[in-house]
Amino acid sequence: MKRPTIAGVHLVASTRSGSGLVPGVAALAEEHPTVEIVCAPRPGASDAIIGVDAWSSAADFAAFEASVASSTSDALTICGAPSELTRTAGEVLTRFQRYVDRRNEASESPVFDAVLAAHAALHDVDKPLVKADLDHAIDTWQWMLRLEVHASLAAQLAALFHDIERLESEPDRRIEQHAPDYAAFKETHARRGAERAEEVLRGAGIDPSTASRVRELVASHERRSRDAEVDLLNDADALSFFSLNSPGYADYFGPEQTRKKVAYTLRRLGARARARLDGVRLRADVREHLLFVEAA
């Protein structure tokens, strides 16, 4: 099935604001430079339509996921109170950033296209956990580009491949909740994934020194270090857990394990990346875990 793309967002105000302008549009456009933000409806378009009130009050993201995934349009329409439009659009674009084509000078190349195709081909998306892994890999890559506009080729490839080991160890069921030592389990996951990433990248035409650097980054991606690119990968991966994976994680593992995971993931976030969580719509139970862990 073809992946959706999001190239535009239409903001439709339910009432006129005092000035007639939707506040915050310039900042939203700056944050999402590859998305055309238009303050007008698009009559006749088959856009997925997301209402501000529905988005902020929904118990889950399932209905929005289904509507965006099945849309044949390359734009979204967000409608509601003018004061809430850009905040909602920002949260929606974050939730669905895996469908936005954001790259930089290091990833705008035919060899990167080849890597993306090879990476996608490793994933059997008929398996829900594997599909979730593919979505998370792309989402982590997109977070990385938002955090560091000039992220290197190796860093971006490490974002894409950082969890590749899960395709072997956890394609049908997750096992991390059974690990007697969670940190040691994650270190093994990182080391094994690093070897696999280097092998796949060499096969897809990435030069040996870049592939070797990716191996280094993936091998140490589970904790912060003195290496700025390892920290960048930690930030992107942790943000993706919160913005994309956390509701599915909570449904699969239950509240006790989710609270542990939230605490573990929070420790991987630097202060600058932590501030980005303010623009992320978290599900109510996940937000509660986050507040509990931060207060502890």
Query: What three-state secondary structure class fits 14?
Result: coil
Closest approach, Cβ 140 to Fe ion, in A, equals: 6
For residue 105, the tally of other CB atoms under 10 A from its CB is 10
Least distance to Fe ion, CB of residue 233, Å: 9
How many residues sit close enough to Fe ion to count as binding (CB under 5 A)?
Answer: 2
If we measure between CA atoms, which residue out of 110, 118, 268 comes closest to residue 186?
268
Instruction: CB nearer to Fe ion: give 61 or 242.
Output: 242
**Exposed / middle / buried, residue 246 (Cβ in 10 Å: 0-12, 13-18, 19+):** buried
- The answer to whether residue 133 forms part of the interface with Fe ion (CB under 5 A) is no
Q: Does 237 bind Fe ion (CB under 5 A)?
A: yes
Q: Which helix (H) or strand (E) holds 273?
A: helix 271-275
**Least CB distance to Fe ion at residue 22 (A):** 35
* Residue 60, phi then psi, degrees to nearest 5: -150, 180
Is 235 an interacting residue with respect to Fe ion (CB under 5 A)?
no
Query: CB of residue 89 vs Fe ion: minimum separation in angstroms?
Result: 26
DSSP E strands in the chain: the ranges are 8-13, 36-38, 48-51, 75-80
CB of 74 to Fe ion, least distance (A): 27
The nearer residue to Fe ion, 6 or 244, going by C-beta atoms, is 244
Cα–Cα dist 215/112, whole Å? 17
Query: Nearest distance from residue 163's CB to Fe ion, in Å?
Result: 4
CB 104 within 8 A of CB 145: yes
CB of 136 to Fe ion, least distance (A): 6
Return the number of the residue (10 or 136) whose C-beta is nearest Fe ion.
Answer: 136
What are the backbone angles phi and psi of residue 13, rounded to the nearest 5°?
-80, 135
Q: What are phi and psi of 4, to 5 degrees?
A: -65, 160
Q: Give the x-and-dash track for 142-171 against Fe ion (CB under 5 A).
A: ---------------------x--------
What is the secondary structure of 123-145 as a DSSP string?
Answer: --TTSHHHHHHHHHHHHHHHHHH
Q: In angstroms, give the least distance from the CB of 171 to Fe ion.
A: 15
Q: Which candidate, 141, 234, 157, places its Cα nearest to that of 199?
A: 157
Choose one: 78-86, 92-100, 195-203, 232-240; the region binding Fe ion (CB under 5 A).
232-240
Distances (CA, A) of 20 to 14, 34, 40, 216, 229: 11, 25, 12, 52, 43
Q: Which residues bind Fe ion (CB under 5 A)?
A: 163, 237
